[in-house]
Amino acid sequence: MPLIVQKYGGTSVASLEHIRRVAERVAKTYDQGNDVIVVLSAMAGVTDGLINMARKITETPEKQELDVLLATGEQTTAALLAMTLKAMNYPAKSLLGFQAEVLTDRAFGNARIMDIGASRIKDLVARRTIVVVAGFQGADADGNITTLGRGGSDTSAVAIAFAVKADMCEIYTDVDGIYTADPGICKKARKLYTVSYDEMLETASLGAKVLQIRSVEFAKKYNVPVHVRSSFSEEEGTMLVNEATNMEQPVVMGVTCNKNEARITLKNVPDQPGIASKIFSPVAEAGIVVDMIIQNTRSEGLTDLTFTVPKISFKDAMEIEKKVAAEIKAEDVFGDENIAKISVTGVGMKSHSGVAATMFSTLAAVNINILMISTSEIRISCVVEENYAELAVRVLHTAFGLDKEEHAPV
């Protein structure tokens, strides 16, 4: 009998009425002759509400206790869904993280899964019971409750799918799949019916917030079949696949846009060994994640150094760097919040030259100035002025042959 893992996100379980609809979809899948394991997030907004409550106690609530608090969110939805299924006369049972034997490390608030025993899940499934697992949570070796970080239920689902050798891991969310670009920006964007794990990794980290990036890493590592689809429709969504299965991969799979970063430039930094460490260590210590870094050597042993940080960390990072600049005798520090990072991604790029050239010339043709460039094996990103972000997405979408008119869905 096929075994399906279905994961429903916070917007899909936002109310009792939503939960009833999820129960109907689960029941339908079960009635079609599948074994079903459901993995749930907390109701939309609940996790943030709990964090805000904890912050009223102290600005920095202890992480271990915060995890105990946050774990109630998924416990609630798991109990409610199991209860709903039972009321519909389906055999169902909720399991919390520790009951599903989701063993994690001790990194409270952002724990990583070490192992999933899943013996109880398997026993229940063998008895044709629908198992409803509270996502996002696990327990460390001492039985302390841990949580997996924002979006962690995705990782719960993929890891459980691997542990039970599920035939499919369906991730239900409020979008109906992965698109070649944000349809809100680019009307010609079309849905992709397959995307490779690697492409998903590059786009997820760029702000296409459909899946927690760690869940994609996990799916790639263990080759877990993942299907991203909408809980509000019956349409097929997007399958995550190994690139090898996709013979006629187009060069570029999509164009993404990230407006959540700001850039900081240190001007005329004395170019000495160890200088980068002096600049970036204090930022890292403040818990600020630096994304792109560019260094241009200029004349007379001086260099300009530019990097990007999340917009919410911009002010903190600027303050830190002003102190650093004084210390290392850099001439000046300036920042810019009005930037956007435009990226084209595609595993096909590996074997095609000219993608970068096409990107640069396409942007130049509409007079968009490129402020920073960074590349990976399957991605090229350009930072541009924020005002030009949408235009950049649209012209690149056309230039790389992604527009709807030109490529009918498979």
State which residue, 58 or 367, has the beta carbon closest to a second copy.
Answer: 58
Q: Cβ of residue 112: shortest distance to a second copy, in angstroms?
A: 21
CA distance 54 to 322: 32
Burial 182-209 (b: 16+ CB within 10 A, else e): beebbebbbbbebbbbbbbbbbbbbebe
Take residue 169 and report the two structure tokens written for it: 């891991």
Q: Are 393 and 208 in contact (CB under 8 A)?
A: no
Residue 68 CB, nearest distance to a second copy (Å)? Answer: 4
**With respect to a second copy, which residue has the nearer C-beta, 142 or 285?**
142
Please say which residue, 80 or 402, places its beta carbon nearer to a second copy. 80
CA nearest 135: which of 123, 125, 149, 114?
149
CB of 94 to a second copy, least distance (A): 5
Which residues, listed in sequence order, are joined to residue 303 by a DSSP beta bridge?
A: 269, 297
Structure tokens at 335: 């920042």
Q: Return d(Cα 182, Cα 189) in angstroms, integer.
A: 7
**60 vs 296 by CB, closer to a second copy:** 60
For the CB of residue 160, give the shortest distance to a second copy in the complex, in Å.
17
CB of 88 to a second copy, least distance (A): 9
Interface residues toward a second copy, by CB under 8 A: 16, 19-20, 53-54, 56-58, 61-62, 64-66, 68-69, 71-72, 75-76, 78-80, 82-84, 86-87, 92-94, 96, 98-99, 120, 143-145
Question: Based on CB atoms, which residue is closest to a second copy, 72 or 295?
Answer: 72
> DSSP states of 318-360 as a string?
HHHHHHHHHHHT-SEEEEE--EEEEEEE-GGGGG-S-HHHHHH
d(CA 181, CA 145): 38
Long-range contact set of residues 308-311: C-beta below 8 Å, sequence gap at least 24: 308/261, 308/262, 308/263, 308/264, 308/339, 308/341, 308/372, 308/383, 309/261, 309/262, 309/263, 309/264, 309/283, 310/260, 310/261, 310/262, 311/260, 311/261, 311/262, 311/337
CA distance 377 to 294: 17
Q: How far is the CB of 134 from a second copy (least distance, A)?
A: 9
Using DSSP, state whether 229 is helix, strand or coil. strand
Looking at the Cβ atoms of 52 and 297, the one nearer to a second copy is: 52
CB nearer to a second copy: give 90 or 172: 90
Cβ-based neighbour number of residue 329 at 10 Å: 9
Write down the least CB distance from residue 66 to a second copy, Å. 7
214/201 Cα distance (integer angstroms):
9
Specify the residue, 15 or 223, whose C-beta has the smaller distance to a second copy.
Answer: 15
**In the complex, least distance from residue 113 CB atom to a second copy, rounded to whole angstroms:** 19
Q: Which of 71/355 has CB closer to a second copy? A: 71
For residue 61, the minimal CB distance to a second copy (Å) is 5
Least Cβ distance, residue 35 to a second copy (angstroms): 20
Q: Which is nearer to a second copy, 51 or 284 (CB)?
A: 51
Burial 10-34 (b: 16+ CB within 10 A, else e): bbbbbeeebbebbbebbbebbeeeb
Question: CA–CA separation, 286 vs 300, rounded Å?
Answer: 32
